[in-house]
């Protein structure tokens, strides 16, 4: 079997390597020549994917990368794993999906299986993507080629999250499409979960992330309420976790980050309007979660004021640029919002993240590109008026931080168990 995977990022690359490990010949397609060159040289550009894992499959001849989308003419299946961001008005941007479809359509052989993995609203696969593929190829979906949707379920940084053992939901345009798609994934994934349609599979992915968004919003709101009552929300969550049924722990933070939770729920919000439906839980959760960076700023201002320091002119260090612990993924990270909000108020900004040595160009915050990570030394950390912990990486020495920093605002309960002088630690 030979497959192509379009999009060689945090989803496409590990998926391609998993297929290759199982003996499938994989062509990775991407528009970024630098990524293609790195992979063909056996080098990974994603921190939690070791270069050795790439080099092994390249050397074995099971994995190669290319920018030539006509290569799909010689494969049995194409899996599309490209970004699906939001516009500034929170409208879905499926342009990467449609451009991928346009690029491969003229080269599709009869009988090929096309599967979309990118998170999107119900109807994208069997409407917009189908239309692009049929128009460009002259073929008919469900007759001349097979079309399906199977949402990605990557969890970067989680050592227990392995592509092979994460159950794979799959929905096909027709029963035959579903059967063919399942046959493709059966080469690499142990457990397959068939559903009745592409739309049911698309809706499944949205439900998973909406569930998380709403529950995170709940604990974020409770954080502010309990703080006003002088109750530590982290202590409350730990106590609630002891209930063996009917409760699942979610944790507050400085805002939402990553490629899923801040974005995906609004794909359904947008689509629901077409059916005159309101998504009040999603909208409210979005309001609560997007207000968290400002709450952190307000708490930091209060912390500085307790030491008779104004925010204007204060040196502020953000700990953690990645959106979650132990990864280098900074997409949609609330740390960028904190950098902007503090800078707008006169703060002199810097960051420390052992996983992000330099800020790479990004679409939302290009003005921070090229900024270097600070050095982890006592003299340097002590030179900042306040340190704000936005991401709780395991590689950070919080004991040293407690000794060195003048003032700490902790949004992740990272300083739990570390004794500090009264007034030095503020939770936010």
Catalytically annotated residues: 260
Closest CA to 86 of 253, 214, 304, 260: 260
d(CA 285, CA 213): 7
Cα-Cα-Cα-Cα torsion 27, 28, 32, 38, nearest 10 degrees, comes to: -90
**Helical packing angle, 280-290 and 292-306, nearest 10°:** 30
Report the C-alpha gap between 59 and 17 in whole angstroms. Answer: 12
Angle made by CA atoms 256, 167, 283, in degrees to the nearest 5: 30
Per the CB < 8 A criterion, the answer to whether 75 and 28 are in contact is: no
Could you tell me where the DSSP H helices lie in 186-264? 198-228, 233-240
- Asked whether 154 and 11 are in contact (CB, 8 A), the reply is yes
Give the contacts of 334 (CB within 8 A, at least 6 positions apart). Answer: 253, 254, 255, 256, 257, 292, 293, 323, 390
Q: Maximum Cα–Cα distance for the chain, whole Å?
A: 72
CB 310 within 8 A of CB 303: no
Phi, psi of 77 (to 5 degrees): -155, 150
């Amino acid at each position: 079997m030979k497959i192509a995977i379009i999009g060689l990022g945090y989803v496409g690359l590990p998926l391609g390597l998993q297929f290759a490990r199982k003996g499938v010949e994989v062509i990775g397609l991407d528009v970024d020549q630098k990524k293609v060159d790195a992979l063909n040289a056996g080098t990974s550009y994603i921190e939690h994917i070791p270069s050795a894992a790439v080099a092994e499959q390249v050397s074995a001849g099971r994995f190669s990368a290319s920018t030539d989308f006509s290569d799909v003419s010689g494969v049995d299946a194409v899996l599309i794993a490209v970004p699906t961001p939001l516009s500034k008005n929170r409208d879905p941007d499926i342009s990467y999906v449609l451009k991928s479809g346009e690029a491969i359509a003229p080269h599709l052989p009869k009988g090929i299986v096309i599967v979309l993995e990118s998170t999107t609203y119900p109807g994208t696969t069997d409407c917009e993507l189908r239309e692009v593929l049929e128009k460009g190829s002259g073929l008919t979906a469900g007759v001349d080629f097979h079309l399906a949707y199977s949402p990605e379920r990557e969890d970067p940084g989680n050592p227990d999250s392995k592509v092979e053992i994460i159950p794979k939901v799959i929905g096909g345009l027709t029963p035959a499409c579903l059967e063919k798609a399942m046959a493709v994934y059966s080469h690499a994934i142990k457990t397959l979960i068939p559903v009745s349609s592409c739309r049911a599979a698309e809706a499944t992915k949205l439900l998973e992330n909406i569930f998380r968004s709403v529950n995170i919003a709940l604990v974020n709101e409770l954080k502010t309420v309990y703080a006003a009552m002088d109750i530590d929300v982290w202590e409350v969550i730990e106590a609630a976790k002891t209930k063996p049924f009917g409760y699942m722990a979610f944790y507050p933070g400085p805002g939402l980050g990553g490629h899923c939770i801040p974005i995906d729920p609004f794909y359904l919000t947008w689509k629901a309007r077409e059916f005159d439906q309101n998504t009040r839980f999603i909208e409210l959760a979005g309001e609560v979660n997007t207000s968290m960076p400002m709450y952190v700023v307000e708490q930091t201002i209060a912390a500085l004021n307790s030491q008779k320091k104004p925010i204007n002119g204060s040196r502020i260090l953000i700990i953690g640029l990645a959106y979650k612990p132990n990864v280098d993924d900074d997409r949609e990270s609330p740390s960028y919002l904190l950098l902007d909000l503090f800078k707008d108020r006169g703060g002199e900004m810097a960051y420390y993240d052992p996983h992000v040595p330099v800020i790479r160009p990004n679409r939302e915050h290009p003005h921070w590109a090229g900024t270097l990570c600070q050095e982890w030394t006592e003299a340097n950390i002590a030179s900042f008026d306040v340190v704000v912990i936005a991401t709780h990486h395991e590689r950070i020495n919080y004991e040293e931080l407690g000794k060195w920093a003048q003032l700490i605002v902790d949004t992740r309960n990272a300083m739990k168990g570390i004794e500090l002088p009264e007034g030095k630690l503020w939770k936010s």
